[in-house]
Structure 1
Amino acid sequence: MDKPYIQDFAEKYELGGVVSDASLWQVRSDRNKAIKLVSSKGLLNAYDNTLLPDLHYRPLSDMKIKALEVYDGQFIYLTDKSILSNAWGGKYEVEHGLDKPALFAMGPNFMTLVASADEVKLFQNGKRVWNKQYNGVNPKTILFDEKSNAFLIQGTHGVYRVTMADLELRKLYEGSDLTSMTMYKGNLIVGTGNGVVQLSGESFSKNETDQKLPWTEITVVKTINDELWFGSTKGAFKLRDDGKYDYYASKRWLVDDYVVDIAQGPDNSVLVLTKEGLSQINFVEMTLSEKADYFQEIQRLRHIRYGLTANLSLKTPGDLATGYYHDTDNDGLWTSMYLAGELFRYAVTKEEDAKHNAYEAFEAMERLTDITPMHGFPARSYERDGYEVGLHANGFSEEWYKKHVEEHGRVWQLADDKKWRWKSTTSSDESCGHFFAYALFAELAPDQEWRDRAVHQIKIQMDHIMDNNWYLVDWNGQPTAWGRWNPKYVNSFPINVGDRRLNSTLILSFLQTAYHFTKDEKYRKAAHKLMKKHGYDENANRSATVIGYVEGEDLSDKWNHSDDEMYFLTIPGFVNYSFSEEQKTKHFETVKSHWEIERSEKNPLWNYLFALTGGNPIDSGASAWWLREFPMDLIDWKIDNSHRKDLIKIAPNFRSQTYTEVLPGDERVLHKHNGAYRNDGGSNGNREYAPYIYLLPYWAGRYVEAISAPSP
């Protein structure tokens, strides 16, 4: 059931103008939703993604503000002279008489405790009722504990209590490198430079130390809306009900990772102040459907290039206003995945907008074969002459590209009209996308004329492969590096190298798809020849569990998760278009073996495509978790989880899995569906990914009825 859940996302405010070099100390928000910060350059406001001087109250501009708190929803300021507020008609002001005051806290009826490095004073009704000089406390946090009717003071080496009954300063706990404290569920949580200490019991005499945290160098601990938050030198994190943590780090969430302060923000948001700026983490109710609407708008606004799906490159890291388009090696594949999502959306909703988007993407893909001189050969991409920017193909090095040009000519070829260039060296993953999308199009598009065009694409691409001895043959008459289904190539690999099984599966699925829609016997005969003479059925029906490391084989040093992407896009045709029920049963069992291996990734696309073949159950709960945890920010930020002490690492392995379980999408590096366990990496924010990554699995889930329509 697609019921509303809580979606988190961040808004960021960076230092600007005359305060660009300010040191940030503290942040608070009042009942009016105003956000103010204390800095080395005075009071600041958070406005339009920038931190600037607060000019609202001119008298405050001339005061030396040391700290800021919120009492009864109103701002209270600590200056070098007094404690004051502009609320309540400006009547509240207490001259504290302290030299170099540092911090303060409020109790009931405006009772105020204010501290400096060597003295603490208590005020009631504007009058001093108690004071105490101390040495070596170095106060970092003061708070009022209603349960014990006492103020608690945390210094660098200890925690102290001032009870209202006898007004005595007593040490509760002695430690070292203490940084912050907060009350949480009746316990006192103390942050340190190496973990947190929990003090419990009536007198806080019991203590436990916890170092199983995302990071142990704690700078601040806060209780906000009955949830325990931590700030550290490597980001912020929140304790969950299950004892694990939601981790907020990297520029996806924070301006920088060194947390200075945390506070409750407007509308149940949380304010995370770091050395270089402020991040407001918002928590809003949202359905998966509303999230899809949000991403659909971004897809249409920023990720359509000539009708193809495109990433958005950013000249200035993180700045969407500097975005521009360019080709990739897999424009056909990414477009096919967006196209499929829109076909599923149309099938579910019958929205004309979905049909229009699907037809536009189809025409863009159709041109990939129209623009090349070889019948049925799809280009990787196309661009106007002189504007192509992809220097090489399929991730090869520049050295490979130079050698390739010397031996085979340019990757980019001039089209017949002399105005456009098309990108050659097309690979098998592109073919997977084409056959996947065109088969869906031939089934789900509402207009017969358009469905016939999709069947035509299936036919000409299949004919190209068959006419060229089971290869994709480029403009130079040579097979491309990865478009190879010839028996000599496929069977050259040992049975436990994934390419033997994968390529056999792909070509059988392509042939079955071609036969299903054209009923041309040549495709079925060709498939039977590959199966009987060259063992392709045996290859394709071999369980995925046999795939493993083979010494001396370049394609076997680790599990290739891009192969998973090709495999799952292919399985609907592989199973559903089988030539017989007996074959269909065998194909399904083989597909199931692969799905069982992939289950730990919790990838909804794999689950829903498996459902298209008849798979049941399909881990719907895990799929919904993946979709909910998918980040709203699609910028490719650099992310690192390698330092985390709350995760359980496992030994290096063939599947490149790092931890005992997959991390939520908003805590790891952003990647497409072939990323799987990629937890670290990314870039400095130099591109925004296209949102089809979310849209395809969401609408596939709706299509197979694994996700309901949104529920109020």
Structure 2
Amino acid sequence: MQMMKKRARKITGALLAVALFTLSAIPVGAAKLPGASYSPVQLEAVQSKKMTYYKNGSASIPNTLDWITDASALKFLPLSVIGDVTSVVLDKEGVYWIGTQNGLQRVDFNASDTKDIVQYMAGPRYLYGGDNHVTGLASDEAGGIWARTASGVTHIAMPEQTMHEKSFIYEDLVQTILDRRGMVHGTSFTFTDTDNTTDAVNYNSATGVFNSTPTTSDNDGLWTTMYAMGEVFRYKALQEQYGTNPTSEQVAEINDAKAAALRATKAVLLLDYVSGRGNGFPVRSYMLTSEATAATVGNTVYGYQSTNGFWFQNFVGPDKNNPNGIIPSMQRDDGVEPIGYSMVRVTKDAENKKGSTLFPSGGTDVMNYNGLGLSQASIDELNLTRPEGQKLGIDIKTIVETTESGPVYQVLPVITAATNNSTAKEDKTTSETNKPLFQLTAPVYEQIPDFFNDLFPSSVIVDGHIDMNQIVYKADTSSDEVIGHYAMFYTAFKYLVGDSNDPELLELKSFIEETTHRMTELILKDDHYYIEDATGKSTQWSRWLGKYFNDSLSTMEKQKQWEFSVGVDKDGNDALSYGYEDAPLNALEVMGVLKTASFVTEKRYPADSLKYEMAYEQAFASSYSKEDPYVNGLGYIDMALEYVERRIVRQATNAYSDNGNEVVTMDNAGDSTNANATLHNDWTQYINYSDEELGWFPVFILVTLEQDELRHAKIVEAYDQWYSNEVREENPFYTFLYQLAHPDKTDVDLQSAVRFLYRFPEFQIEFPVEWDRQDVFYIEPGDRDKAKQTNYALAPDERRIIKHNSNPFANESQSTGVNPNYNYRTGSIEAGSVFTLPYWMGRYFEIIKE
């Protein structure tokens, strides 16, 4: 259980005692972007919304409020159009507060940004219990408002606040309730207030306490990377901007930033060691066996685990002998013997994740499925030690698909009596006395380095080492996680460690070098360009091989439908490879991987660094392969430049399939979203917003690391295609990267990106959002999320909380109606990394300044 007590920022003697860094080598005012022509945006202190919630009947509601229950103050609209207005306050600052039957509006004709003239507040974030029928308003005489509904009262205070001051709120939340052994992501929470004189809920209360028990998330390393990168830039920005003679308070703040950056970076690095496989395999996440989410039925490895995914439990020690053989891809040839093994846990994924077919030309071979079925080479090796009657793929197997020619079998990581030779499904009945017929294992070759000991409680440290028997880790790692790791490797290596002589940072540098080298070798092993898992084949999403992107492309280009951006074979059937539309993103990813690896390993592994650089240069050497033999990595920059084109092809092919295998025209289109978008070449209707977020990481690596002008220009050209949609999101995460890619541009809309920071909520609590609005135009649904969309980006404090990995325009029916018993003392909260990463990166690169 973790707690946060809201407190003022104080600098203590203890903090000053740990101020060990030196400032003598800090390059004050060093040019970050040679030739930059833009001017930094000067940030201002702006009014920020701070809510206090009072349930109807609360004795804490002040009895001195002068409630306004009429619209007589409203002068700028005719009475004929204000039928749903219930109350209007014109405060002493000239701001109109307008209560309606459908929410609260703030109208300030003097707003510095015209987009902020009208601000809309509804749902439980602003009005008690989501009761949007305002029955009365009262000014607080300080720029804020009291809003009353039948369900309760909300006080919306509007004090001025700098963005630097706002950043402390996110930092406090991370350090006290969002941090799980250095990993940072959202969590559920409870909130209490030790002030017994009030029953109101005020998250900013000095006596308020947040409690949480952070749990695993799907991509811990990716989300932690976002936080860690922000902390690295916080550290560097504060070092430089406070100069060579910082105050004691500034010294402490710099040290806070360094400690946070180091802890989060170590947490990401740890994910590349917890499996003990010794080959650089990055895990998605890990749990301790003591965590509630790690529990299994009967508390044994044979019992069902409800936390879904592909999880392994470690068994390490001299008496821990692997019950299975070691598959070829996980065998070491350097004579090192395993110190134990890890066994896959019984989960839904392990039992039935058959996967989709990858290549139109691949048939039903298990290697053509992106699920968890074992490779044939793995099956053959394991069968060498299995007795007759228990042979995998012969006696023990599951049906994953039924075709015209009969059932397709696979050997999944967990096969039980109930799933043996029958359809793959979830079996929750296993136990110590009803063990699965087969549970995949992986060797453990090495102990987790002691460098990471400080991330764990003392109960996990045994004889000076992390007790690996208390570790349960999540495999089937995605490319999302991988590119996050490399972005972290690069950022920490270049900006956190740099030329430092700090012993702790030098030790960190050594682990970054080793980890980068190991994982890159794993990706390039046998030239397969993927992350290999314990199944003997790639994980579901971590693959960057040419065939994955372009299988059947040469066939499609010969068909008449290709003229209309439809990818089919000679029989008119969809022939797009599963990874066709992933190519532009994944091409940038592997280029970012290789460029990072070459940079980080240059001194410690010079020969391999040169190998990585040559592999990277191959991306610019020629055009990519369109048929066998595919050359992995060749011409990948050309694929990166096809982002819009491949979105259009995927969309048009979907529309063609939905249209009875007919090319969509004005005469036969019908009313489907795909068809309409295809007719208008509107590729933005088919955007994967999670891909937008992932694309940011390799682009950041490449635009800040690539020095060759021609290559740099190609990378920027590729990112420009992504930004052609991102620009309308007005998000500093993308806008500031676009400015880095175009340092000569002086017309980038930095002000809208700054507005995003100004309007970003202090507490990223996942309140239901009101979408039944009269002030917004809605357009048709996006193809991927099937939800109607706003035609412009709402300010972040008027929409649902997201981490950039979903559609910011989508209306997903967040409103849940009126709930007078809404519980403001519990909920879910996200980390403020969406704010802190662009904010501190912007300050470091002098895009913004306080």
**TM-score, normalising length: structure 2:** 0.58
Shift of 1:513: 1.5
State whether structure 2 residue 257 is matched by structure 1 residue 354.
yes
Higher RCO (C-alpha 8 Å, min separation 6): 2
- Distance in 1 between residues matched to 2:813 and 2:288, nearest whole Å: 32
Shift of 1:634: 1.3
Match of 2:635 in 1: 535
Match of 2:100 in 1: 232
- Distance in 2 between residues matched to 1:638 and 1:487, nearest whole Å: 43
Amino acid at match of 2:739: A
Spell out, residue by residue over 1:16-41, the C-alpha distance to the aligned partner (whole angstroms, 9 max, x if none).
xxx57xxxxxxxxxxxxxxxxxxxxx
Shift of 1:9: 2.1
Residue 413 to residue 315, structure 1, CA distance change in 2 (3 Å):
farther
Residue 249 to residue 694, structure 1, CA distance change in 2 (3 Å):
same
Kindly indicate whether the alpha-carbon contact (under 8 Å) linking 1:348 and 1:702 is maintained by their aligned counterparts in 2. yes
Match of 1:293 in 2: 168
Residue 683 to residue 441, structure 1, CA distance change in 2 (3 Å):
farther
- Distance in 2 between residues matched to 1:637 and 1:302, nearest whole Å: 18
1:289 partner SS: helix
Kindly indicate whether the alpha-carbon contact (under 8 Å) linking 1:576 and 1:584 is maintained by their aligned counterparts in 2. no
Amino acid at match of 1:304: D
Amino acid at match of 1:421: V
Residue 552 to residue 649, structure 1, CA distance change in 2 (3 Å):
closer
Amino acid at match of 1:658: Q
State whether structure 2 residue 588 is matched by structure 1 residue 672.
no
State whether structure 2 residue 287 is matched by structure 1 residue 383.
yes
- Distance in 1 between residues matched to 2:595 and 2:815, nearest whole Å: 41
1:371 partner SS: coil
- Distance in 1 between residues matched to 2:95 and 2:509, nearest whole Å: 54
- Distance in 2 between residues matched to 1:614 and 1:370, nearest whole Å: 38
Spell out, residue by residue over 1:492-540, the C-alpha distance to the aligned partner (whole angstroms, 9 max, x if none).
3579953111111111121122112324221133334566444322102
State which of 68, 71, 87 in structure 2 corresponds to 1:220.
87
Match of 1:434 in 2: 485
Spell out, residue by residue over 1:379-413, the C-alpha distance to the aligned partner (whole angstroms, 9 max, x if none).
1111111523572249xxx9656413882248999
Match of 1:89 in 2: none
Kindly indicate whether the alpha-carbon contact (under 8 Å) linking 1:265 and 1:271 is maintained by their aligned counterparts in 2. yes
Note the 1:258-273 alignment, pairs <5 A. Answer: 258-265=133-140, 267-273=142-148
Shift of 1:612: 3.2
Match of 2:43 in 1: 2
Match of 1:521 in 2: 610
Kindly indicate whether the alpha-carbon contact (under 8 Å) linking 1:669 and 1:679 is maintained by their aligned counterparts in 2. no
- Distance in 2 between residues matched to 1:181 and 1:218, nearest whole Å: 7
Shift of 1:552: 4.1
Amino acid at match of 2:795: P
1:635 partner SS: coil
2:128 partner SS: coil
Match of 2:217 in 1: 328
Amino acid at match of 1:659: T
Note the 1:391-470 alignment, pairs <5 A. Answer: 391-393=307-309, 402-404=351-353, 407-409=412-414, 417-446=468-497, 447=500, 449=506, 450-467=508-525, 469-470=528-529
1:251 partner SS: coil
Match of 2:390 in 1: none
Match of 2:242 in 1: none
Kindly indicate whether the alpha-carbon contact (under 8 Å) linking 2:144 and 2:155 is maintained by their aligned counterparts in 1. yes
Kindly indicate whether the alpha-carbon contact (under 8 Å) linking 1:568 and 1:610 is maintained by their aligned counterparts in 2. no
Structure 1 gap segments, 5+ residues each: 21-43, 48-53, 55-67, 76-104, 106-140, 142-179, 190-196, 199-207, 211-215
State which of 159, 162, 169 in structure 2 corresponds to 1:284.
159
Match of 2:569 in 1: none
Structure exhibiting the larger radius of gyration computed from Cα positions: 1
1:674 partner SS: coil
Residue 362 to residue 229, structure 1, CA distance change in 2 (3 Å):
same
The alignment of Structure 1 onto Structure 2 pairs a total of residues equal to: 531
Spell out, residue by residue over 1:66-96, the C-alpha distance to the aligned partner (whole angstroms, 9 max, x if none).
xx875xxxx9xxxxxxxxxxxxxxxxxxxxx
Match of 2:318 in 1: none
Kindly indicate whether the alpha-carbon contact (under 8 Å) linking 1:259 and 1:274 is maintained by their aligned counterparts in 2. yes
Structure 2 gap segments, 5+ residues each: 1-41, 193-200, 204-208, 240-253, 295-305, 311-346, 354-371, 373-397, 399-411, 415-438, 448-467, 552-575, 603-608, 623-630, 658-673, 675-682, 817-825
- Distance in 2 between residues matched to 1:608 and 1:565, nearest whole Å: 13
Spell out, residue by residue over 1:246-276, the C-alpha distance to the aligned partner (whole angstroms, 9 max, x if none).
1111121121323221111253320001112
Shift of 1:601: 0.3
Percent identity at matched positions? 24
Match of 1:46 in 2: 61
Kindly indicate whether the alpha-carbon contact (under 8 Å) linking 2:548 and 2:579 is maintained by their aligned counterparts in 1. no
Spell out, residue by residue over 1:269-304, the C-alpha distance to the aligned partner (whole angstroms, 9 max, x if none).
200011121100011111111111222222212111
State whether structure 2 residue 590 is matched by structure 1 residue 507.
yes
1:639 partner SS: coil
Residue 429 to residue 412, structure 1, CA distance change in 2 (3 Å):
farther
2:773 partner SS: coil
Residue 238 to residue 652, structure 1, CA distance change in 2 (3 Å):
same
Kindly indicate whether the alpha-carbon contact (under 8 Å) linking 1:658 and 1:677 is maintained by their aligned counterparts in 2. yes
Looking at secondary structure, tell me which structure has more strand per residue: 1
- Distance in 2 between residues matched to 1:3 and 1:577, nearest whole Å: 32
State which of 164, 183, 197 in structure 1 corresponds to 2:73.
183
Match of 1:251 in 2: 124
- Distance in 2 between residues matched to 1:69 and 1:7, nearest whole Å: 22
Kindly indicate whether the alpha-carbon contact (under 8 Å) linking 1:495 and 1:501 is maintained by their aligned counterparts in 2. no
Match of 1:14 in 2: 55
**TM-score, normalising length: structure 1:** 0.68
- Distance in 1 between residues matched to 2:258 and 2:440, nearest whole Å: 34
State which of 585, 588, 610 in structure 1 corresponds to 2:716.
588
State which of 76, 81, 90 in structure 2 corresponds to 1:209.
81
Match of 2:389 in 1: none
Shift of 1:674: 2.1
